[in-house]
Chain A
Amino acid sequence: MKRYFRELSVTAALLLVLLGLAVLAPAFYQPQPLLSLVTREAPTLIVACGMALVIICRQIDISVGSQFSVCSVCAGLLAARGWPLPLVVAASAGLGALMGAINGGLVAGLRLPSIVVTLATMVTLRQGLNLVRQGEFVNLPDSVQWFGLSQSAGQATLVVSALVVLVVIGLALRHLSAGRQVYAVGTNAEAARLAGIPPQRVTFLVFVFLGALTGLAAIMNIVQSPQVQPLSGAGLELKVIAAVVVGGVAIAGGRGNLWGAFAGLLLLACVSPALTHLHIEAYWEKAIQGAIILLAVVADGVRQRRGGK
């Protein structure tokens, strides 16, 4: 119980908000709009899963927003050229993995600090994309939206696949040795090395994995509308890092899990529609989200001072 205090408290906060909405703004629970809103968060969830791994491994990747934009635009252009959708999905995930490999290679291979490396790739990728696309929307063929399914079937597919990814990675992280290696490296890389775990390889792979997931997330986003805005994904890094931290993953590595990150994401994602439903001015949105993050960080700080892990 005490061990999962952070995850449980975030979940409790989330339930409290949902309960409050049920009382004060029952219209929030109309199935169709709610499904749409949840679907809009599905891509973010996928990226948050990858980000959780990177942060547990004591690294960070602030270039995911730019990676997301690059994958979105490239996938859109390939789809517009008539590539079959499965190939587009593979290409986007591959491209994401490649960008992740660049980050991972620089961080693990040259032992550079990940915040600096990914800051550089964030800016480079964003600039490069702007240079090439100049902000122009990519128009997608009609067959791309909702994978060619009906809207509700498409939305259900996206939500279910995001949840499947969450559960699979969440379980693997806890029960597979690869997952435990991530915690080991994040807790103490030197100790991990002495125990026979190659810290640099684990670090490299979490970046590649995050990149691939970001590529998939980009696909899950572009199928939700007929046009791709190249700016799409700007600010995504803050959204997912916030979700992961609020969900109890320690920014210093070695601690946390995906269930907490999931709750953190939902809690933060709730704020905006909740304010709309409660007819509260939008000025509060960022302030409330900021307060939630601050609260989470303070909770971590208090824990650490008390000597808890």
Chain B
Amino acid sequence: MKTLLRLGVLVALFSAAATVLSAADGKLMVALMPKAKGNAYFLSVKAGAEKAAKELGVELLFDGPTDTNAAKQNEIVENWITLGVDVIAVAAENKEGISTALRKAQKAGTKVITYDADALPDARSFFVNQATPEGIGQGLMDEAARLMNNEGEFAIITATLTAANQREWMKHIEARLKSSYPKMTLVAVRPSDDLKDKAQSEATALMSANPNLKLIMAICTPGVPGAAEAVKQAGKTGKVKVIGLGLPNENKRYVHEGVTDSVILWNTMDLGYLTIYAGTALAKDQLKPGAVSFKAGSMGTFEIKGDNILLGKPFIFNKGNIDQFDF
């Protein structure tokens, strides 16, 4: 009984503290969750988010699992519900897994949006779509085709075989391949577990197993420098081309050495910026379901398709422009 009482007092104290926290000078609290908080990609998202939070005068919380961990994401959402944040913005590691927690947040009155990787549609109001899977898939496939003169063998290095984003991109890469490039063959898809070291080993094996390989396409960020290092060490610079989804800073060296031809990505800082603007507008009732466009501060107006706020076309970094970017 005594323990119960103590527990009760503790809970009461905690919720009181949470209320005080959220009510502090009436500032909106916007919580942003990456898939993994140590990931450089999400850090550049965070940089953009910070800029937006400053412009809007909202308080930004940034927390997530240290490495990709779907269960840990749920835990953090639960904590945020207790804390009483106004907006939760999540890049979902597991679509179904996170949705239960997000629905609970919505029930508690928190506005929920997703960015980078979506949850189930009923668990959030909007998805800030960094690039449609079609855009990415087609962009990668078209770039590969351009470099291979529309013919020959290529291979893909992915994150894990079950990662939601990568699977979605793969679907569109394969669709584009089938519809537009009959003389090109995808000979293998290998997982790298998001490790540069493993991507390097995988690329080495891919080249020796497929002597006619003309290009390696890495569709997770650590995979691109990993594949490039393998190509360089195999002495196949130029013979086996490397492209992929990656971060400019991690690939500059290989792009300048001519090992990697193109690095494809969207502007990650813009993604963070737009996410915070959209989340805040949602909490202030300035953005409602059914809207067809949305204006985000200095970045101008974005198209909304259904419940997807579109960031725009992917961006291709190459020898000519990569030095202008620093993330």
Residues of chain A whose beta carbon lies under 8 Å from any beta carbon of chain B: 25, 27-28, 30, 32-34, 36-37, 40, 123, 126-127, 129-131, 133-137, 139, 151, 221, 224-227, 229-232, 234-235, 272-273, 276-277, 279, 281-283, 285
Contacts and interface: CB of A to CB of B under 8 A. Distances in A.
Contacts of A234: 67, 193, 195
A137 B228 CA distance: 15
B93 interface: no
Contact of B38 (A36, A133, A283): A133
B197 A37 contact: no
Contacts, number: 119
Given A231-B195, A272-B201, A282-B189, A127 B66 contact: yes
Contacts of A151: 233
Contact of B253 (A25, A130, A134, A226): A226
Given A226-B253, A234-B67, A276 B190 contact: yes
Contacts of B191: 282, 285
Contacts of A136: 40, 43
A151 B196 CA distance: 19
A76 B46 CA distance: 25
Contacts of A282: 161, 188-191
13 contacts: A33-B208, A36-B204, A36-B234, A126-B67, A221-B197, A225-B196, A227-B250, A231-B195, A272-B201, A272-B202, A273-B209, A276-B190, A282-B189
Interface string B75-100: 00000000000000000000000000
A64 B209 CA distance: 32
B134 to A, nearest CB: 24
Interface in B157-211: 161, 187-191, 193-197, 200-202, 204-209, 211
Contact of A27 (B188, B197, B208, B249): B208
A276 B36 contact: no
Nearest to A227: B225
A33 B196 contact: no
A272 B263 CA distance: 26
Given A137-B40, A282-B161, A282-B191, A272 B205 contact: yes
A230 B67 CA distance: 11
A126 B66 contact: yes
Contacts of A36: 204, 230, 233-234
B217 to A, nearest CB: 15
On chain B, which size bracket covers the interface?
A: 35 or more
A177 to B, nearest CB: 38
B38 A273 contact: no
Which secondary structure characterizes the binding site on chain B? helix
Contacts of A227: 196, 225, 250, 253
A130 B38 contact: yes
Given A234-B195, A282-B191, A33 B66 contact: no
Interface of B: 36-43, 66-67, 161, 187-191, 193-197, 200-202, 204-209, 211, 222, 225-226, 229-230, 233-235, 249-250, 253
B230 to A, nearest CB: 7
Contacts of A27: 208-209, 211
Given A33-B234, A229-B195, A40 B200 contact: yes
B43 A229 contact: no
Given A225-B200, A234-B195, A276-B188, A33 B36 contact: no
A33 B208 CA distance: 6
Contacts of A231: 38, 67, 194-196, 222
Contact of B205 (A33, A137, A225, A226): A33
B192 to A, nearest CB: 10
Nearest to A281: B189
A283 B158 CA distance: 12
A55 B37 CA distance: 33
A28 B250 contact: no
Nearest to B39: A135
Contacts of B67: 126, 130, 231, 234
Top-7 shortest CB links A-B: A130-B38, A33-B208, A135-B38, A273-B205, A276-B205, A229-B196, A277-B209
Nearest to B199: A229
Nearest to B197: A232
Nearest to B209: A277
Given A135-B36, A234-B67, A277 B161 contact: no
A137 B43 CA distance: 12
A36 B197 CA distance: 12
A232 B66 contact: no
Nearest to B189: A282
- Interface centre among A129, A135, A139, by most chain B C-beta atoms within 10 angstroms, is A135
Nearest to B252: A139
B187 A279 contact: yes
A276 B210 CA distance: 9
Contacts of B234: 32-33, 36
